[in-house]
Structure formats: C-alpha cells, structure tokens
Amino acid sequence: MSVMDLVVSYEVSNRGTPVLICNGYKFGLRKAESNDVKKRWVCTRMSKGCRAVLLTVYDAVVRSNTEHNH
C-alpha cells in the first residue's frame, strides 16, 4: 500500500489544536514549516514510545511511518 492510498481526515481537539486521523489513529501537529504547506504529524501516543509519523504537503500525505506500537 503506498502512502497515496492512505485516507486521512482532520479534526480539532478539545484544546483547539489540529488532529489528523489515519487508519483510526490520531496524530497531533508537531511542527508546521514556515510556509505552512509542509506539516509533520506525530502519533498522540508518541509519549508512550510510538514512533508513527506522517508528513503532509497541501494536506496530502507524502511520507509516512504508520507502524504503531499499540
């Protein structure tokens, strides 16, 4: 499965921060590049050791590591 097949959707968390949802997993916005086009998203379980990340450009996934540890 290529990253282009990943279906993602977007939400806003209770705290007003953007949340990306992919395959039922939630990712928080880690860092927006200065032009705000490229965005890095990390799994919300990162603090528990999950290393899944997504990189989006114009809200399309261009790179991903979707190997979750949970």
One character per residue 15-44, x = contact with Zn ion (rule: CB under 5 A): ----------------------------x-
CA distance 57 to 70: 26
The residue from 20, 22, 42, 50 that contacts Zn ion (CB under 5 A) is 50
| Straight-line distance from the first to the last Cα atom of the chain, in angstroms, rounded to the nearest whole number | 20
CA distance 24 to 57: 20
At its nearest, how many Å lie between Zn ion and the CB of residue 35? Answer: 27
Residues that bind Zn ion (CB under 5 A): 43, 45, 50, 52, 68
